[in-house]
Amino acid sequence: MNDLADRSLTFARQTAQAGLDAMVTIAARAPGLMAAGFDLTGQGAREIRLMVDEKIAAAHEGAFAAQMAWGWFLINAAFGGASSPQHVSHALVDVAEAALAPALRQVRANALRLTGLEPIG
């Protein structure tokens, strides 16, 4: 398999894992979100605040990383470093990986934190 196909397969695996991690995170948070108004300790409100803050931070970090990856490609292309459609394809995968990396990392960390499990592999 070529490098682009390998990268695409790895990216697909990562996004599939993120989907599973998101389901675990939602399942772990749902009871607390439903009862947040009745929680006198404030733990539910803290978890909601953390959830929102993490999403905003991951979105900003991903957007910045995607801009940097695309900018790097444009600079590289301007100086003759991108001379084929394959270079463009790799650049687009670079941008997608950069954009999603913070979200993938955060959803994985949340799933592990909320379940108390250790990562496998």
**What pLDDT digit, counting tens, does each position of 79-117 carry?**
988 778 888 998 999 999 999 999 999 999 999 988 887
- d(C-alpha 82, C-alpha 68), whole Å: 16
With contact defined as beta carbons under 8 Å apart, do 17 and 120 qualify?
no
What confidence category does residue 65 fall into, taking pLDDT thresholds of 50, 70 and 90?
very high
CA dihedral 15, 17, 23, 29 (to 10 degrees): -100
Residues 16-43, mean pLDDT to the nearest whole number: 83
- Alpha-carbon torsion (73, 76, 77, 81), positive or negative: negative
Q: What is the pLDDT of residue 20?
A: 92
Q: pTM of the predicted model, to two decimals?
A: 0.79
Tokens of 71: 């900018």
